[in-house]
Amino acid sequence: MEALLRLFSADKGGFPAWHPNFQGLTHITGTSSNGQQFLKTLLMVVLMGCALTAAYVEWELQGVLASVRNLKQTAVSMSVANVQYVKASDRFLDIGRETQMIVDFCGPTRDWLQMALTLFESRPAEAVFKSLGLKVVPLPKTAKNQPLVQALQVRLMGSIRGETDVALQVLEAYKEALQVTPLFKGRILSIEVSNLTRQNKVNLIDFELTATLSLLSP
């Protein structure tokens, strides 16, 4: 009976009251030593750190992805405006070109009257002028990327009385005379005489004098 009582009084896996037995005790508290505990704690801290870092990276990535989406939307919404801006820009360029043309056209006209006066004042006595043409022409490009350069072309047609050689002398003199006039000086890109045609009936020689002048004032 006593043995039974003891059996019941002793806890399951325990010991009789006040007789904790250390003999053959397999449970060793030292298994979880402080050192190991420290390592466990360290491991936990490292794992927590890794997890937190991963979470932070993920969170940041979500933010970046969100901003990418926003920016894409902005790009789409702005592309319509962009097309309009490009069109406007093209229009501005066109207007710019036209404006330039007008400027180019109007620029030389300032001295057209002066030009005509100069040409007529220095007219040789033997010559008569039939027509005077002034126009702005583009110079032929000498290099591929060379910007367009425009020049003022003066085309003077007229007749000279007398023989051909005399006419040539007169015209040569006229050319030289023109080159020293204030309006022509330093501006002549080329000056030549062409289309000399003799009209035997009236003893006249038709000529054509073409001078190309730079648009810039000297």
Partner 1 sequence: MLFGKRHFLLELTDYEVRLVQVSGFGHGYRVEAVTHEAPGDEGAINRALYALGGGNSSSRNRVRVALQPRSAYFLLAPLDSSQLVKSAAELSSFPRDHLRLDDVPYLSQIIHPGTGAAYKSNSTQREWVFAGAKASAFEDFNARIDAAGAKVVGAELAPIATIGGVMDYMRLRQMPGGLLTVFLGAETSQVFVTTRERLVATRTLPIGVKGLIAACQQAFELSGEAEARATLFAGGPAIAEKASLIIERLQREVETFAGFYELQAGQGINSLCIIPPFSALEWVGGIVAHGMGTPLFKPDYAAWLEFQGASWAPGLDIQHLGAAWLPTFSLIAQYNTHGSTSTSI
The dihedral formed by the CA atoms of 73, 76, 81 and 85, expressed in degrees to the nearest 10? 120
Q: Which stretch binds partner 1 (CB under 8 A): 4-12, 88-96, 108-116, 188-196?
A: 4-12
Written as six digits, the tokens of 24 are 């053959």
DSSP assigned state of 30 = G
Contact between 25 and partner 1 by CB under 8 A: the answer reads yes
Written as six digits, the tokens of 67 are 């901003």
Q: Which stretch binds partner 1 (CB under 8 A): 17-25, 88-96, 138-146, 186-194?
A: 17-25
Contact between 7 and partner 1 by CB under 8 A: the answer reads no
Contact between 30 and partner 1 by CB under 8 A: the answer reads yes
Contact between 40 and partner 1 by CB under 8 A: the answer reads no
Q: Which long-range contacts (CB under 8 A, 24 or more apart) does 161-164 make?
A: 161/126, 161/127, 161/203, 161/204, 161/205, 162/126, 162/203, 162/205, 163/205, 164/196, 164/198, 164/205
CB of 38 to partner 1, least distance (A): 10
Contact between 14 and partner 1 by CB under 8 A: the answer reads yes
# chain residues binding partner 1, by CB under 8 A: 29
Using CB under 8 A, which residues numbered 93 to 122 contact partner 1?
none
CB of 35 to partner 1, least distance (A): 6
Helix (H) or strand (E) holding 79: helix 34-109
Contact between 35 and partner 1 by CB under 8 A: the answer reads yes
Name the residue nearer to partner 1 (CB basis): 16 or 96: 16
Q: Which listed residue (9, 62, 77, 164) binds partner 1 by CB under 8 A?
A: 9
Contact between 19 and partner 1 by CB under 8 A: the answer reads yes
For residue 191, which of 159, 156, 216, 163 has the smallest C-alpha distance?
Answer: 156
Q: Which long-range contacts (CB under 8 A, 24 or more apart) does 98-102 make?
A: none
Is residue 168 within 8 Å of 209, Cβ to Cβ?
no
State the residues that interact with partner 1 by CB under 8 A: 2-3, 5-6, 9-11, 13-23, 25, 27-35, 37
